[in-house]
Amino acid sequence: MTRARISGVVAFLCLVAGPVLAQVPADLQKTMDERDQAVAKIDVATWDRLTADDFTLVDDTGAFMTKAQRLAQFKTQKPTPYTAPQRVQVKKYGDAYVRRFLNGGNLWVLDIWVRQPAGWRVAAVQTTTAKK
């Protein structure tokens, strides 16, 4: 294979593999990262600030929680080492972004991000136990 052909294949693979995250606005990516870190650190103030008031969670046990319920539960948890999300997929739907990722290898997380007057906020999260 020629050098030009190899370069073309690499460029094609980058275009195919990379557009999902490349399309995420920089301010949204920063906010996602900040909230992910807040979850690991149990940083209540940051979690609260980056979570919409009408937030809902359905966890891997099927429990449904409002923001107030999740915040109360969140405050009882202990910090964990930060693990960057794996197998991340982000897709834009109108004015919202849906992110799917594997968290720490044992949970699939789907979160929905919306832009509000104060900035990007997560409006809903659903988690599912990952098959091994």
**Averaged pLDDT, 45-56:** 97
Query: Is residue 84 in a domain?
Result: yes
Greatest mean pLDDT among 6-10, 20-24, 55-59, 104-108: 55-59
Query: Is residue 69 in a domain?
Result: yes
Query: Is residue 109 in a domain?
Result: yes
For residue 88, the one-letter residue type is V
Assign residue 42 the CATH number of its domain: 3.10.450.50
pLDDT in tens, 85-110: 999 999 999 989 999 999 987 899 99
Query: Is residue 56 in a domain?
Result: yes
What sign has the CA pseudo-torsion 108, 114, 119, 123?
Answer: negative
What sign has the CA pseudo-torsion 39, 42, 46, 49?
Answer: positive
pLDDT at 27: 95
Cβ atoms of 67 and 52 closer than 8 Å:
yes
pLDDT at 21: 53
Query: Is residue 61 in a domain?
Result: yes
User: How many domains is the chain partitioned into structurally?
Assistant: 1
Query: Is residue 86 in a domain?
Result: yes
Query: Is residue 17 in a domain?
Result: no
For the whole prediction, is pTM greater than 0.85? no
